[in-house]
Chain A
């Protein structure tokens, strides 16, 4: 099945800990995105990548880091510098020339 897979579905972070959220796609899409969703605030862009080995900051990049070593993978690390990480994180991808973004099922991150 083609699609976008996010894992884990639920993740818990301890104080001072870095955690990594996985996003894998087998759609052969060029661009990948990470969004954060808080209740009542819609989605906000954290980072995006148009091609392998290149990525740009979105509107709320502080406290997060990403890498794009492979076309199909775009992991997001929530660092200890992110003081309010509790949220629903969504990964998306699209093919160049097509504006529609396809979303994964999300990862819900909570702080212990």
Chain B
């Protein structure tokens, strides 16, 4: 059974710092991996999707990488801003379904 883990559960950084969020999964037979952002009490917004055949995807200050063989994905956020404060969730795609990690709560201090 696929299990997805995100460490750390919470992270606090000063504004301007580059940071990396980690996601690991137990079964490398995945269709894709997605990163989402969730603001408090809100729904999820898709940030990046990496297909199983891809190694990375970029959108603005965000870069997500995927290493299926080691069961890992990272989300790199460059030059962090207070507006980046939110919970970030990764999810592994399996035949139309998503299996989520627990999320990392990010706080960027001004």
Which residues in A have some Cβ–Cβ distance to B below 8 Å?
4, 6, 31, 33, 35, 40-45, 48, 50, 58, 88, 90, 92, 94, 99-106, 108
Task: Identify the 6 closest CB pairs spanning chains A and B, nearest first.
Answer: A103-B43, A42-B100, A43-B100, A103-B44, A42-B102, A105-B43
Q: How many A-B residue pairs have CB under 8 A?
A: 60
Nearest-neighbor residue (CB-CB) of B51 within chain A: A99
Q: Is the CB of B43 within 8 A of A48?
A: no
Q: Describe A's contact surface by its main secondary structure.
A: strand
Interface residue range, chain B: 20 to 34
- A-B residue pairs in contact (CB < 8 Å), sample of 11: A33-B97, A42-B6, A42-B89, A42-B100, A42-B101, A42-B102, A45-B99, A100-B34, A104-B43, A106-B41, A108-B41
Q: Is the CB of B98 within 8 A of A101?
A: yes
Q: Describe B's contact surface by its main secondary structure.
A: strand
Residue B46 lies at the interface, judged by CB distance under 8 Å to chain A: yes
Known A-B contacts A40-B9, A90-B44, A105-B42; the reply to A99 vs B31 at CB < 8 A is: yes
Residue in B41, B97, B103 whose CB lies within 8 Å of A42: B103
Residue in A33, A40, A94, A106 whose CB lies within 8 Å of B43: A106
Q: Is the CB of B42 within 8 A of A44?
A: no
Q: In the docked arrangement, what's the CA distance between A45 and B1, Å? A: 14
Q: Is the CB of A44 within 8 A of B98?
A: no
Q: In the docked arrangement, what's the CA distance between A44 and B89, Å? A: 12
Most chain A beta-carbon contacts within 10 A, residue among B41, B43, B98, B101: B43
Residue B106 lies at the interface, judged by CB distance under 8 Å to chain A: no
Q: In the docked arrangement, what's the CA distance between A48 and B99, Å? A: 13
B42: chain A residues at CB < 8 Å are 105-106
A94: chain B residues at CB < 8 Å are 96
Q: In the docked arrangement, what's the CA distance between A67 and B6, Å? A: 33
Residue in B44, B96, B100 whose CB lies within 8 Å of A31: B96
Q: In the docked arrangement, what's the CA distance between A57 and B102, Å? A: 21
